[in-house]
């Protein structure tokens, strides 16, 4: 009983590490894409728009705030979860995630299934 429990806990830990690694990779891709696309967009707007100082100020800080939000939410939080700092994935969320990736047999029959 104890061996199977340790095996199960190791598998759960490995799944959690892979979950956070995937979240981190997705976040890095999203952050890089947002940084690149918004840079090109704001540079193009400024080049063709000849904006006043107030508009440039707003564009600059909107750029900084949006990319900071993406960096924190999609890169730093998964990184902290990977190194086990702060709030980690709950068992309920783990059950939902693993249920989507691991096929399981249902113990009950569907009312729509034929006998």
**Cα–Cα–Cα angle for 70, 40, 79, nearest 5°?**
20
Flag whether 98 is in a domain.
no
State residue 2's pLDDT score. Answer: 79
Averaged pLDDT, 39-68? 93
List phi, psi (to 5°) of 79.
Answer: -65, -40
Flag whether 29 is in a domain.
yes
For residues 20 and 77, give the distance between their C-alpha atoms in angstroms, rounded to a whole number.
9
Examine the pLDDT at 100 and tell me if it is beyond 60.
yes
State residue 85's pLDDT score. Answer: 79
Any alpha helices (H) in 50-111, and if so which ranges? 53-71, 77-82, 91-101
Averaged pLDDT, 85-92? 72
- Length of the chain equals 115
Better-predicted residue by pLDDT, 102 or 13? 13
State residue 115's pLDDT score. Answer: 47
Examine the pLDDT at 36 and tell me if it is beyond 60.
yes
State residue 112's pLDDT score. Answer: 55
* Domain enclosing residue 71, as ranges: 2-92
Flag whether 104 is in a domain.
no
């Amino acid at each position: 009983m104890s061996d199977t429990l340790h095996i199960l806990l190791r598998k759960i830990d490995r799944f959690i590490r892979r979950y956070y690694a995937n979240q981190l990779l997705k976040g890095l891709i999203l952050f890089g894409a947002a940084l690149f696309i918004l840079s090109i967009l704001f540079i193009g707007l400024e080049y063709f728009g000849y904006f006043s100082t107030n508009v440039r100020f707003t564009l600059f800080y909107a750029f900084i705030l949006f990319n900071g939000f993406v960096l924190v939410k999609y890169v730093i939080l998964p990184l902290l979860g990977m190194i086990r700092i702060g709030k980690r994935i709950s068992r309920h969320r783990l059950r939902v995630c693993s249920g989507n990736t691991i096929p399981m047999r249902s113990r009950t029959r569907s009312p729509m299934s034929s006998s």
